[in-house]
Amino acid sequence: MGTKDLPVRLIGRWSDLGEDDRQAVLERGLDEIFDPGLRSQVAKLIEDVRENGDSALVRALERFDRCHVEPGQLRVSEDEFAKAQASVPDDLLAALRDCIDHVRSFNEQLVSRGDWEFESEPGLRVGEKVTPIESAGLFVPSGKGSFPSVLVQLGTPAVVAGVGKIAVVVPPMPGSAGEVDPAVLVVAKELGIRDVFRSNGPAGVAALAFGTESVPKVRKVVGPGSPAVTCAQVEVQRYGTVTTMLLGPSESLIIADDTADVRLLAADLLNEAEHGADSYSLLVTPSEALLEAAQVEVAKQLCLLAEPRRSYAAAALGQNGGAILVEDLSEAVDVANAYAPEHMQIAVADPDSLLERVTHAGEVLIGQWTPFASANFLIGCPASLPTSGFAKVSGGITAEAFRKRTGVARADERALARMRASVTALSRHEGFPAHEAAIEIRFS
């Protein structure tokens, strides 16, 4: 197999890469998301929705999704919900319910750790009151396939958190006359979500941010999508809508040594790679022998994929991602932390020794019996995860993304008397006489 025929691009040995080459590996996805031309186009679309509401959504659907609907058809009808329930096969319905159960259980553990307080000094108790945000908008992609699992991963935490108003926007199925994926509607029904709207992606994000005649305005919008969808989420923050940074094209990183089963390794490398031509799949290993074996096995398994998934996976491994050789597993963790992947798997003899040093990853899957596929769909840990290195500052979508924390304190006279001198000193230093007076009046 010649170098040009290798399915996994050999990026190089990490210690031999210069700073520019390293940055080229680490800084992925952002140039496309923040491309000036894309930002300009998305900004115009957002402004159209802000000014014209439903009519702008109809125009966007016709222009970008090639389907025409009337404004009154933007909301998914009860009849569509009923037909969706009848059309989904029993095995898929069971799988969706299984997925919801696992995600619900995970998030119920989170919300069980609710309000708290403790006595920080005699007479002073401090803590937090935890409450849900009032509204949330969820974007479910549709362009490259059917993704009911995304709504499970977004909607279940929002429901468990207790969000009062939840709205969903989802583009119509490609090539349809505006139909929304029935499996997505079944998930919405299972979760008790009835505000579902068919919309072009960026336009739908704008509709959630501003509200239209049909789509309710929400305070937070989350959901993975194309660079245009991600760009739209960034742009609407200028108008006061909150989003999560960033849920962009899929990416994965596997640390593996000679003990890894190469067949399973190849399968897991292809797992996230098949999401799209803008995905990233990366192998980090100290073993040249393992990489050579993986090249053969990836080529074999890649041929088994049908188009367009084969081309997607080839791009994710052969152009965007690839393989990095390291001196040892310690350096492998350094590379992984610098990369801060959305999805990470550790396939080595002693994974726990590496886990202790992992600081930046959307998720970490331990061993080859914990494949990306199981985490994408069923395990229950968050699967809507930060990309493009944002795992360095944020985590996946859980119930915590839909809750807010309010500090609560109660002090008695003895506690305030103890704090009196410190508050007064700080008030004087910062030039706030009314602050000082508010304390002193209580002891005069």
What CA–CA distance (Å, rounded) separates 173 from 182? 10
Q: What is the pLDDT of residue 352?
A: 95
First to last CA, the chain: 88
The first and second tokens of residue 161, run together, are 């958190």
Residues 6+ apart with CB under 8 A from 356: none
Residues 6+ apart with CB under 8 A from 141: 147, 150, 170, 171, 201, 223, 224, 225, 226, 229
- The catalytically annotated residue of 251, 297, 342, 363 is 342
Q: Is 275 a catalytic residue?
A: no
Q: What is the pLDDT of residue 1?
A: 52
Q: What is the pLDDT of residue 215?
A: 98
The first and second tokens of residue 231, run together, are 């760009």
Q: Which residue has the tokens 């245009």?
A: 228
Amino acid at 220: K
Q: Which residue has the tokens 């999560």?
A: 244
What CA–CA distance (Å, rounded) separates 86 from 24? 49
Alpha helices in 341-432 (DSSP H): 351-355, 372-377, 413-430
- Give the three-class secondary structure for 276: coil
Amino acid at 71: P
What's the maximum distance between 2 C-alpha atoms anywhere in the chain?
A: 88
Q: Do domains 3-29+249-379 and 36-243 have the same CATH topology?
A: yes
DSSP-assigned letters across all residues of 33-60: HT-HHHHHHHHHHHHHHHHHTHHHHHHH
What CA–CA distance (Å, rounded) separates 172 from 179? 5
What CA–CA distance (Å, rounded) separates 295 from 292? 5
Q: What is the pLDDT of residue 226?
A: 86
* Residue 423 region by backbone torsions, left for phi larger than 0, else alpha for psi between -120 and 50, else beta: alpha
Taking only the tens of pLDDT, the chain with its 444 residues reads: 555 679 999 999 999 999 999 999 998 867 777 789 999 999 999 999 999 999 999 999 999 999 999 999 999 999 999 999 999 999 999 999 999 999 999 999 999 989 999 999 999 999 999 999 999 999 999 876 778 999 999 999 999 999 999 999 999 988 888 899 999 999 999 999 999 999 999 999 999 999 999 999 999 999 998 889 999 999 999 999 999 877 878 899 999 999 999 999 999 999 999 998 999 999 999 999 999 999 999 999 999 999 999 999 999 999 999 999 999 999 999 999 999 999 999 999 999 999 999 999 999 999 999 999 999 999 999 999 999 999 999 999 999 999 999 999 999 999 999 999 999 999 999 999 999 999 999 999
- The catalytically annotated residue of 272, 274, 343, 400 is 343
**Domain boundaries of the chain, sorted by first residue:** 3-29+249-379, 36-243, 412-443
Q: Are 363 and 382 in contact (CB under 8 A)?
A: yes
The first and second tokens of residue 229, run together, are 């969808």
Which CATH number does the domain 3-29+249-379 belong to among 3.40.50.1980, 3.30.420.40, 3.30.70.990, 3.40.980.10?
3.40.50.1980
Q: What is the pLDDT of residue 33?
A: 74
Handedness of CA 384, 265, 5, 341 (dihedral sign): positive
- Give the three-class secondary structure for 329: helix
Residues 6+ apart with CB under 8 A from 421: none
Q: Is 356 a catalytic residue?
A: no
What CA–CA distance (Å, rounded) separates 202 from 233? 8
Amino acid at 417: A
CATH of region 36-243: 3.40.50.1980
Crossing angle between the packed helical segments 36-52 and 201-210, to the nearest 10 degrees: 50
Handedness of CA 374, 375, 378, 384 (dihedral sign): negative
Q: Are 370 and 345 in contact (CB under 8 A)?
A: yes
Alpha helices in 34-138 (DSSP H): 36-52, 54-64, 78-87, 90-111
Q: Which residue has the tokens 């029904």?
A: 189
Distance of CA 126 to the CA centre of its chain: 33
Q: What is the pLDDT of residue 340?
A: 97
- Beta bridge partners of residue 122, listed in sequence order: none
